[in-house]
Structure formats: C-alpha cells, structure tokens
C-alpha cells in the first residue's frame, strides 16, 4: 500500500520526518518496502520562462525558444510542444539531467541544424502524471530560476507491506492510528458530519442475501456536476499509484484508500427499479469495469436492478452503470460483505481489485454510516448536488469480542514487563476498551484479535520489540542429550547421502495445479474420495495438495531444461498428502529423485552423450534406501510401478509382495508429455514411512569400522540361467548360500549370444568371501563353492564349463 507523507500528515498531527516514520512503521510490524521522493530526481530541472518562440527554419512542428533562467543569460532550446509560447513559465531540463520517465540523459545537441541547450518537459516526462500533450505550465508567480525540486517540495511516498491479518491498516487512517499509539503524533478525528437528506430516496434499496451481504446502505445525490477532481485529491491518489478518472470515481477511491472503506457510485439514470444485493442466477454474467465479461455462479453475491446484474459485489463494478462526465444523479452504495464469500468469488473468477483485498480481509462493519457521510460530504463539496434521505437495509455484524486480560502476560509471554498504566494507554490508543477489572473489548476494525496472546502482541509491538531483552536459555551441566528423533536423523542421513551422490536438493510447493496432481493420484485414496483440494487456496494453480513429490520436481526439471541446463539431478524430501478412509487426512514422508538430460556428456572416450535410464534410477533408489536403514539385501524387484511409469522400464523395490519401499524407472511418455518434457526422464520415489525401524537406541549411528584380520578372497561364477530370471534373484540366492562366509556378490557380466542356448543368458557373478578365524584351504573353498552352485541350481542355473 502506498501513500504520501502529506496524506498521512492530514490525518496525523506529527513533526516526525519520513525517516522516523519509516523506522517506526517497521518496528510496529508494518514493514516498509520503500520510500520514494519524486522531487529527488528533479534537482537538475529548473523553473524557466519562455521569452520568445520562433518557428524552426527546418521543421514545421518545431519552435526555437529563448528561455530565461533568471540570470540574464537566455538559453536557446528547440521544442515541439504545441503549447510552447512566449510568456509561458515551465520546467527546463539542463544538459546532464536525467529524464525520470525514460532514464535519458540530456545533452547539448543540434536538432535539424539548430543548437538546443536542454529540453522543456511535460508532466509525464518528469514522472508526475500521464499528461504529455504539452509542456508543464506553472503559475505566473512561479520563481524563475529556482530548482523545480525546491518549487515542487518534498513529499515522500511510503510503500508499506500490509500483512493479511491487519485489515485496519488497509487505509492511511489505520496506519496513522498505529503511529499515534506509538507516540509519533496525535490522531486527528475523522471529519465526517452527518448529512440530513432533503428528499426521500427515490430508489428501493434492499439485501436479499443476508449471508453474503448482511448490510446494504445507500442514498441518492441529484444535481451533481462530474468533472476533474481537485488537485489535492489527484495528488493523493497518484501517490497511491491510482490514476485520477473523474471527481465521483476519485472520491470513492479516496475514501477506500484513506479509510479502508470501499464504496461505489452508480449513475442513477442507468438503473431500473430496485437496487438489490442478491445471489446470482444460473447463466448470468457481468461486464466488469475492466472490460471483461465474467460468468457468475449461483452462490456469488451481486448488486442488481430489474434489468440485471451491475456489480460483482465487493470486488468490481460493472460498465453499464458507471459514472461518466454526463452523470447528474448518483446512487451511493456502502455495504458490508462477508469476507469468506468475497475471497471465494474472487478466486473462482480469478479477479483481483483493491476492494476485494479489503473486503476479504474484513472491513470495519461499524464504519458504514461514517463512510457514507464522508462520501456525501466530499461529493457535495466538490461536485455540488442535493442529498436524499439515507436508506439502511439489513444489519452489519457489530458484536464486539470481549475477554478478561491479565497484564502480567506481557512479561510472561512477551518478555517485557510493561507498566499497567502504559498497557492501558496503548490499548486505548489502538481503540480497545479496558475496564478497571481488565475486561478488554476489541474494536470492530480488528477482526484478527481472538484472545489474550493477541493483546500481548499489540502491547509489545507498540511498546517496542527492540526492548525485548536477549535472555539465554538455561542449560544443564554436562553433555546435552540428543533431541532429534529417529525419523529426523534418518532424513538428515538421506539428505547428506543424496547431496554426496551429486543430486541437488529442491524445495517445491506442497500445493499443485489439479491437472498435475491428477497424474499422480493413482492410489492416493483408499476410500476413492479423490485428492485433497483446498477451500481457500493461494491461487487456482495451487489448490490441490500433492499426492506425490514428483510433480513439483518435474515442473522444476522443465524450468531448468528450458533455461539451458544439459543435465538435471534433483531430489526432495517432504510430505505427500493422501486422503484415507472416511476422508481422514494423512501425510507421509517421502523422497523423490528426478534425473533428466545427459547422464554422461559426449566425449572422445565415451562418444555420444548418454541419457539416464532405469538402471540409473535403480542405483539411486538402492543407495538411498541403504542410507535410510532399509535391508536392501532382502529387497525384491517387482513390476507394477504405476501408470505414470514406462511399463517395460520400471519396477518397485519391496519387502515381501505387499510392502513397497520404492518405485523407480523411466516416466511413461504420456506423463512426460503432460509435463512438457522431452527425452527419457528417470525418477525415483521412496516411501520413508514404510522402511522398518531398526531396533535399539541410536539405530542410525554407524558402528565403528574394524578391518578384518584376514584377507578376503574373491571367486567368479558364470551361470547359465533362464533369460527371464532377474539378476537380483540370483544374487540373493548366492548371498544366502553361506551367510557366514559370503559377504558380497555382484553381477559383472550379462551375455547372450554365441555359445549360449536360446532362451538362456549367462550371468557372471563376483563373490567376496571373508575368512573369520583362519585362512581358507582348498577343502573349505570347495565346500563354499558347492553351496553357491547348489543355490544357483535351485533357480534353474547351471555353472558354465
């Protein structure tokens, strides 16, 4: 939210400068994002008088001006503005000055053969408005030769970040209230006098949707003259980033930005019959002020008359009934709309506005009469006219929350002992009512206050968060006991292992676009209830809780590849969110890995670049499962990784037929296309909650390594096995043949071809044997070999000659 210092000073009697105000706002929790002073960029521009204006000898639309800066040495300037003439007082940019609008540095130059010593500037060129039809015309008494920055005066503009829980500060008046409570001035009373009507309101105003619009107030003002708003009003709107339109529109925007009270003015001549707040009817649409037509749903609140919908209530008015230069009679509307309904409507229509930002946070329900009085008074002052009686339809929710507060909580919860009298002063300045018994009643403009801890926050932030002492926590003597849980230790180990293997950690949203979540919704619901969808999402693209970490990583992969990355190796540890039996929520710890692009770049030794394949994914899955403490030697490789995976190049790793610890492989081409990915993409998904916990304390601490006293022995075995036999099954059988002596086994060759019968393959296995008490003799090695051969025979394997 933006506003000028002069606007704040109109509501707050203060002598503080811009720096002091900015520091105090930040300490109050209203963080300053920037302070801009337009005059700071205008120091090299001067107030100048045009002495003569002659036609340019080489151009019909240019003039050669003689410009006086008050020093008796006129400068020659070439100008193309149609309003340039002798006697005009404007603004001259001297050589070396930088034009704020485009960053151009002015220089002495020749234009069509005539020397020009600067530029006479328009309002837009100086960044002071949008007018650019001619150069600025200053009053006749403007001091010639003075710096235009000094003439204009300094009026810094504050840009304040308002958090969603502070709807009271969505207007300059609310910010002024906070500063006054902090001792930076005195809050001025709102200058809103009740206006008596001189005739009955000719329009029937009512609310037929008390749930969406509990209160709807309005009155007619006839005989107004709409035109440009006064300069002071335009200046304030410009400081807030608003473009002045017309007096009637500017006044409603001014009350919204100044007091956080959105309102609307309708051209009475464009309305037919009663004006009603009601629910939309199926099939109705609204042509909004932004020129777009929005389809409405039956639960949305609208403002309509007998001819149809004119306004998406609380969000944006319609084109049909807006005020114009010919408007003479207006209907003012000030209403209270339910915040949740406004937020839901805005999200469904993907429509944002200043009014929506205030209504969905919660405007002050007690400000309807005052807001209408402000609007009426300003319109009568600026546009003239005659007001009607006020009509009030419905009742705003004026109930105020109240609870007993213990002032000792400021020290117990906030860490600062604030005197009771000071606490009462702060609360009173913020609008709270405090009784002698410390019964605190919350003002209507603070819907965020729900209990005593919120009161402590108010007291402490106004008293000063910088006054909170730094108090070290007590620590017991001796070595501190570990506080991390087994699950936390497991995640740390996996994270370090993944990084050590060359993977880059990513952190993606827990919310997904629904279409991306649906690709991985298979098996996400035991009850068939579907995905978890948020009722109040950040945006329509982030409304579904992720059933897998893979969609977020795939989107990140696409962004990296689009930006020229030749290889992408990403991993993430987080939670996936499932919908269980009966709709119960469930979040499960998971790890996901995505490998895309080049596994090995092209080179003289490797030849062409090699893409990632399913075996790369399997290697990552096994390595990370081992770090997580899974019994990888007992895992079985089985199919059915899921419809998102390539059916011939994917599998699962299981403990038994039902417990799936991981799935890996290449993405199905359809899934890859859905995420706009080309080429093979290898992925891994580990289900950390399914890994059986190790027994005993410190289960994830590595045992101290003690090298064996005797040297290990390796032996190679080549088995002829059925071509359909997984190599992992053979390795598992070999390892289990003699657990006391076989410590490792790995396949180092898979051959199919000449010398190998049809339907079979040759698997060569390297077996590592470790003697314990004495070295092996020939008899011991023969006995072990016989056990290994026998284990292979059980799977149909025959030792090759």
Reported as a single tens digit per residue, the pLDDT across 328-385 is 999 999 999 999 999 999 989 989 999 999 999 999 999 999 999 999 999 999 999 9
Asked if pLDDT for residue 134 goes beyond 70, the answer is: yes
For residue 30, give Cα distances in angstroms to 27, 239, 457, 749: 7, 18, 13, 67
Mean pLDDT within 514-527: 70
Q: Which range is least confidently modeled, 96-110, 532-546, 591-605, 746-760?
A: 532-546
- Is residue 258's pLDDT more than 90? yes
Distance CA 594, CA 591 (A): 10
Tell me the CA distances in angstroms from 668 to 599, 616, 682, one per residue in order: 19, 16, 10
Q: Specify the DSSP class assigned to residue 465.
A: G
Report field, pTM of the whole predicted structure over 0.95: no
Residue 395 in tokens:
């009742």
Q: What is the mean pLDDT of the chain?
A: 90
pLDDT value of residue 526: 39
The predicted pLDDT at position 17 comes to: 92
Residue 579 has a pLDDT of 74
Class of domain 402-466: alpha beta
Q: How far apart are CA 670 and CA 646, in angstroms?
A: 9
- Contact in structure between 248 and 266 (CB atoms under 8 Å): no
Q: Which of 174, 173, 196, 176 is CA-nearest to residue 184?
A: 176
The counts of H helices and E strands in the chain are: 19, 41
Torsion angle (degrees, nearest 10) of CA 376, 377, 378, 382: 100
What confidence tens digit (pLDDT) does each residue in 84-129 have? 999 999 999 999 999 988 888 999 999 999 999 999 999 888 888 7
Mean pLDDT within 563-583: 85
Which residues are within 8 A (CB) of 728 and not within 5 positions of it... i.e. 6 or more apart?
Answer: 635, 636, 637
Q: What is the pLDDT of residue 585?
A: 60
Band of the pLDDT at 696, cuts 50, 70, 90? low
> Rounded mean pLDDT of 592-618?
90
User: How many angstroms separate the CA atoms of 540 and 644, rounded?
Assistant: 24
- Mean local confidence (pLDDT), 545-569: 94
One of 3.30.56.10, 3.40.50.150, 1.20.210.10, 3.60.20.10 is the CATH number of 2-37+156-187, namely 3.30.56.10
pLDDT band at 529 (very low <50, low <70, confident <90, very high): very low
Q: Is residue 46 within 8 Å of residue 36, measured between CB atoms?
A: no
Give the pLDDT confidence score for residue 119 in this predicted structure: 93
Determine the Cα–Cα distance for residues 351 and 348; give it in Å rounded to an integer: 8
pLDDT recorded at residue 695: 62
Q: Quick one: DSSP state of residue 291?
A: S
115 is in an annotated binding site: no
pLDDT at 580 exceeding the cut of 70: no
CB–CB of 313/212 below 8 Å?
A: yes
Q: Is 458 annotated as a binding residue?
A: yes
Return the domain boundaries, the chain: 2-37+156-187, 40-152, 205-394, 402-466, 486-690, 713-799
Q: What angle (nearest 5°) sits at the alpha carbon of residue 622, between those of residues 617 and 626?
A: 150
Which tens digit of pLDDT belongs to each residue from 159-210?
A: 999 998 999 999 999 999 999 999 999 999 998 899 999 999 999 999 999 9
Give the Å distances, CA to CA, from 99 to 96, 117, 120. 10, 15, 11
Supply the pLDDT for residue 495. Answer: 95
Q: Where are the beta strands (DSSP E) in 27-79?
A: 31-36, 45-55, 63-68, 75-79
Q: What is the pLDDT of residues 611-654, one digit of tens each?
A: 999 999 999 999 999 999 998 888 888 888 889 999 989 999 99
What is the pLDDT averaged over residues 470-493? 86
Domain 2-37+156-187 shares a fold with domain 402-466: yes
Rg of the chain on CA atoms, in Å: 38
Whole-number Å distance between alpha carbons of 342 and 363: 12
C-alpha 511/C-alpha 776 separation (Å) is 60
The domain 486-690 belongs to what CATH superfamily? Bira Bifunctional Protein; Domain 2 (3.30.930.10)
pLDDT of res. 72: 85
pLDDT level of residue 528 (50, 70, 90 thresholds): very low
Give the right CATH number for 205-394 from 3.40.50.300, 1.10.10.10, 3.50.40.10, 3.30.56.10.
3.50.40.10
In this model, does residue 527 exceed pLDDT 50?
no
Label residue 689 exposed, middle or buried (CB < 10 Å: 0-12, 13-18, 19+): middle
In angstroms, rounded to a whole number, what is the distance separating the alpha carbons of residues 499 and 525? 32
In the prediction, which pLDDT does 702 show? Answer: 56
Q: Region 569-588: what's the mean pLDDT?
A: 79
| Between residues 475 and 378, the one the model is more confident about | 378
For 759, phi and psi rounded to 5 degrees?
Answer: 85, 5
Neighbours of 693 (CB within 10 A): 11
Q: What is the pLDDT of residue 525?
A: 41
CA distance 465 to 478: 34
Tell the residue number behind the tokens 């340019």, with chain if given: 56
Instruction: Tell me the C-alpha distance between 380 and 387, whole Å.
Output: 8
Stretch 18-37: mean pLDDT: 92
Fold (CATH) for 713-799 = Alpha-Beta Plaits (3.30.70)
Query: What is the reported pLDDT for 409?
Result: 94
User: What six digits make up the tokens of 470?
Assistant: 């730094």
User: What per-residue confidence (pLDDT) applies to 583?
Assistant: 52
Q: What are phi and psi of 351, to 5 degrees?
A: -125, 120
Q: Is 801 a residue whose pLDDT tops 80? A: no
457 labelled as ligand-binding? yes
- Provide CATH code, domain 40-152: 2.40.50.140
Kind and range of the H or E run holding 496: helix 486-500
Whether pLDDT at 576 is above 60: yes
Report residue 424's pLDDT band, with 50, 70 and 90 as the boundaries.
Answer: very high
């Amino acid at each position: 939210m933006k506003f000028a210092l002069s606007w704040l000073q109109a509501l707050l009697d203060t002598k503080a400068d811009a720096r002091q105000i900015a520091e105090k706002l930040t300490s109050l929790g209203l963080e300053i994002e920037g302070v801009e002073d337009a005059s700071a960029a205008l120091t090299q521009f001067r107030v100048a008088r045009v002495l003569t204006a002659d036609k340019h000898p080489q151009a019909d639309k240019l003039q050669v001006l003689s410009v006086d800066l008050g020093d008796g040495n006129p400068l020659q300037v070439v100008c193309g503005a149609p309003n340039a003439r002798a006697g005009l007082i404007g603004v001259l940019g001297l050589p070396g000055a930088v034009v704020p609008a485009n960053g151009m540095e002015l220089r002495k130059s020749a234009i069509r053969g005539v020397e020009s010593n600067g530029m006479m500037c328009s309002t837009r060129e100086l960044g002071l408005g949008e007018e650019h039809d001619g150069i600025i015309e200053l009053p006749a008494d403007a001091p010639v030769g003075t710096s235009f920055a000094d003439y204009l005066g300094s009026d810094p503009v504050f840009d304040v970040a308002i958090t969603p829980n502070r709807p009271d500060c969505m207007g300059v008046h609310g910010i002024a209230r906070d500063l006054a409570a902090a001792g930076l001035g005195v809050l001025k009373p709102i200058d809103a006098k009740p206006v008596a009507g001189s005739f009955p309101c000719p329009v029937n105003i009512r609310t037929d949707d008390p749930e969406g619009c509990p209160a709807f107030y309005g009155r007619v003002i006839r005989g107004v003259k709409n035109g440009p708003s006064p300069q002071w009003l335009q200046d304030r709107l410009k400081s807030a980033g608003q473009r002045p339109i017309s007096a009637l529109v500017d006044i409603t925007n001014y009350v919204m930005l100044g007091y956080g009270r959105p309102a609307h003015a309708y051209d009475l001549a464009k309305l037919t019959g009663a004006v009603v707040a009601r629910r939309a009817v199926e099939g109705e649409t609204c042509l909004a002020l932004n020129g777009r037509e929005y389809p409405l749903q039956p639960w949305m609140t609208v403002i309509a008359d007998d001819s149809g919908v004119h306004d998406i209530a609380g969000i944006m008015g319609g084109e049909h009934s807006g005020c114009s230069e010919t408007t003479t009679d207006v209907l003012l509307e000030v209403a209270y709309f339910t915040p949740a309904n406004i937020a839901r409507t805005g999200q469904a229509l993907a429509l944002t506005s200043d009014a929506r930002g205030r209504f969905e946070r919660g405007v002050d329900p007690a400000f309807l009469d005052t807001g209408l009085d402000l609007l009426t008074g300003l319109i009568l002052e600026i546009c003239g006219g005659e007001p009607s009686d006020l009509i009030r339809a419905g009742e705003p929710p004026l109930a105020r929350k109240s609870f007993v507060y213990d002032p000792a909580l400021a020290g117990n919860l906030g860490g600062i002992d604030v005197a009771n009298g000071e606490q009462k002063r702060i609360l009173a300045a913020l609008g709270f009512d405090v009784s002698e018994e410390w019964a605190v009643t919350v003002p209507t403009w603070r819907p965020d206050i729900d209990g005593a801890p919120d009161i402590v926050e108010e007291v402490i932030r106004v008293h000063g968060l910088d006054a909170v002492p730094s108090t070290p926590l007590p620590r017991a003597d001796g070595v501190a006991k570990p506080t991390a849980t087994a699950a936390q230790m497991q995640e740390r180990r996996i994270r370090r292992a993944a990084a050590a293997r060359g993977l880059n950690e990513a952190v993606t949203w827990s919310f997904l676009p629904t279409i991306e979540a649906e690709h991985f919704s298979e098996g996400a619901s035991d009850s068939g209830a579907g995905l978890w969808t948020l009722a109040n999402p950040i945006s329509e693209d982030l409304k579904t809780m992720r059933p897998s970490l893979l969609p977020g990583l795939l989107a990140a992969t696409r962004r990296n590849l689009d930006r020229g990355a030749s290889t992408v190796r990403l991993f993430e540890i987080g939670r996936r969110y499932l919908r269980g039996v009966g709709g119960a929520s469930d979040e499960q710890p998971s790890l996901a890995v995505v490998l895309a692009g080049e596994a090995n770049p092209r080179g003289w030794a490797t030849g062409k670049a090699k893409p990632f394949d399913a075996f790369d994914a399997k290697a990552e899955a096994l390595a990370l499962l081992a770090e997580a403490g899974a019994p990888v030697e007992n895992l079985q490789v089985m199919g059915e990784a899921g419809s998102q995976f390539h059916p011939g190049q994917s599998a699962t790793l299981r403990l038994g037929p039902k417990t799936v610890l991981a799935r890996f492989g290449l993405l199905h081409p359809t899934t890859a296309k859905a995420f706009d990915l080309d080429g093979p993409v290898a992925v891994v998904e580990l289900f950390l909650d399914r890994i059986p916990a190790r027994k005993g304390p410190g289960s994830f601490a590595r045992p101290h390594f003690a090298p064996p006293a005797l040297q290990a022995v390796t032996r190679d075995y080549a088995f002829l096995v059925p071509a359909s036999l997984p190599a992992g099954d053979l390795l598992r059988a070999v390892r289990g043949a003699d657990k006391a002596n076989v410590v490792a086994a790995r396949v180092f060759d898979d051959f199919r071809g000449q010398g190998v019968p049809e339907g079979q393959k040759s698997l060569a296995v390297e077996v590592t044997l470790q003697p314990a008490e004495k070295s092996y003799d020939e008899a011991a090695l023969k006995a072990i070999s016989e056990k290994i051969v026998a284990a292979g025979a059980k799977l149909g394997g025959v030792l090759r000659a």
